[in-house]
Structure 1
């Protein structure tokens, strides 16, 4: 006869495996009726609690690995703060690694974290991460949560944000201000967040009866965006508004436009994405879509703790809503700006 498992007991009692596990561990979170039902199923099926396996599960390092793709982006610092706020409270220390958008480097970090016996991983996958990366974690029984980016074709817990709401509000604001020549500044890295934000831009433009003036890819650095400002503003059809993939590009363009004597909000409207703290420090302030990285980090950490405690729990995927933050860099269309390249 095959060995009776806790999942068998749960199915027999008509509860989740997580609930059956709480009964076995004597948790006070389970109602008296549910406890009686599960215990009756245990007796009927002849379930025997594997105390040795439970002791092995309880033997943990109390550490979690966190791998992010770009430590120079302040957005990821806030994400990390959200992760740590939850894991620290749960008594777990964080081992941090910066993949610098390198999938091979990311693989190396995971191997080293395995050597240190981390209890689980939170990963924002680097550009070019293959399905194998996630499948290996499952094969090694390492709890993993993907955050902000999802490797295509993979399954597992995920914590991210939904760009559509905030992007829709941003484009609606530009359209209400009279802007029709709107360009999009994309990052040159290809991953799920890149695809989702660009798709949400196209959707919002279509909803307002608009066609993008252009989509321009840039390296996601302040310097690259600053240096690209002259070329962007000297196009045959000069944009009256620009929407950026993130605030790194937005802040770089803010400086580059200022170098040209072009004032954001007066001569061209400029919108960033992520709403990092620096967006409110420049003048005029950078309008931006808020993505709540602290909340995303908290959510990712809670999902990881859940996966560690309940390995058989159903897969959970969450997306924090986004919203538009209006600042001085976004303003009404000026006829003078239109006349420059009409």
Structure 2
């Protein structure tokens, strides 16, 4: 990795002394024009002030930054809790940041965590302005492992670990065919997103192999979207008798809407979700879902970032973890 820009680089760019740069970084009194010039120089060369540089260089800060795109989603909450506990068992602390699908907030939070000397990053990124986030991560020279989603694929500086989404989509589609479904739809996930395309790809390949026409309705991965899509399917695609949802939230929305629509889940409409969050077991009927085995995923993620931080062992560029289909009553199992 390239060396991180230094205070001397900032000073040279801004045309001031090293001590002046230090004063700006410490918030001391300097002329406003000088402060602006120094801050602009920092932005131009990608310099990020690291408050714990000494401990970071020795990988002994004991802090790992966990940056998550949406902690309101139970799937990510479960991962964050399990990851934090696994780090704690290894003597490290987790600094958690929720970016709420806001790429500008993501960049600011990562910069702040770099300043406070985290030894490594786990990031499930928000989409948009990817280069801004990558610039900060590149300049920080901090070990960074992407999970679930990817800002940049195939880059050894930012390894990527995710469940085998394609396999999960295949398992769900094959199961619905085995249950006798004649027309299967895919619901949810924003169009054009890599994670949507991956989760959909297994479904599309199975339908193609069986000479079936797909019905794809993309959109927000929320319960509200699922409820809306249940009504849309009944009105515009009454022939659909099976659905695979981008995630469990969409699927739970479908389940919630069906009683009012007079649809019997498990017979009239067979439903499969994705992620297997805890709510799947307690829904009515219980929701079939593709399990990403989050406890094992969290343990593997912790082991990989700690191996990188402590021993310099870089994870493989791209890795996929196993998935399995948990069959419940929503699909007639």
The Cα of 1:226 is off from its aligned counterpart by: 1.5
CA distance in 1, matches of 2:68, 2:192: 15
The Cα of 1:190 is off from its aligned counterpart by: 4.7
Single out whichever of 188-197 and 309-318 deviates more from structure 2: 309-318
Change (3 A) 1:106 1:54: closer
Aligned residue in 1 for 2:208: 206
SS in 1 for 2:218: strand
Aligned residue in 1 for 2:271: 270
SS in 2 for 1:95: strand
Aligned residue in 1 for 2:69: 69
Indicate the RMSD between aligned Cα atoms, in angstroms: 2.3
The Cα of 1:209 is off from its aligned counterpart by: 3.3
Residues 1-342 of structure 1: matches in 2 within 5 Å? 57-58=57-58, 60-153=60-153, 155=155, 156-188=158-190, 190-212=192-214, 214-311=215-312, 313=314, 315-331=316-332
The Cα of 1:266 is off from its aligned counterpart by: 1.7
The Cα of 1:250 is off from its aligned counterpart by: 0.4
SS in 2 for 1:67: strand
The Cα of 1:54 is off from its aligned counterpart by: 10
The Cα of 1:160 is off from its aligned counterpart by: 1.0
Query: Where do 5+ consecutive residues of structure 1 fail to align?
Result: 1-52, 333-342
CA distance in 2, matches of 1:70, 1:101: 6
The Cα of 1:109 is off from its aligned counterpart by: 0.5
Larger Rg: 1 or 2? 1
The Cα of 1:228 is off from its aligned counterpart by: 3.1
Under a length normalisation based on structure 2, what TM-score does the superposition of the two structures give?
Answer: 0.77
Q: Residue 85 of structure 1 contacts residue 298 of structure 1 at CA under 8 Å; is this kept in 2? A: no
CA distance in 2, matches of 1:197, 1:139: 32
Q: Residue 271 of structure 1 contacts residue 329 of structure 1 at CA under 8 Å; is this kept in 2? A: yes
Under a length normalisation based on structure 1, what TM-score does the superposition of the two structures give?
Answer: 0.75
Single out whichever of 106-115 and 133-142 deviates more from structure 2: 133-142
The Cα of 1:56 is off from its aligned counterpart by: 7.0
- In the alignment of these two chains, the number of paired residues is 279
SS in 2 for 1:218: coil
Deviations 1:74-113 (A, max 9, x none): 1111211231132111211111111111111100100111
SS in 1 for 2:60: coil
Change (3 A) 1:208 1:152: farther
The Cα of 1:303 is off from its aligned counterpart by: 1.4
Single out whichever of 78-87 and 262-271 deviates more from structure 2: 78-87
Aligned residue in 2 for 1:11: none
Deviations 1:295-323 (A, max 9, x none): 22222222111111234646443211111
Q: Residue 159 of structure 1 contacts residue 318 of structure 1 at CA under 8 Å; is this kept in 2? A: yes
Deviations 1:112-142 (A, max 9, x none): 1112111111000112251452354233211
Change (3 A) 1:283 1:313: closer
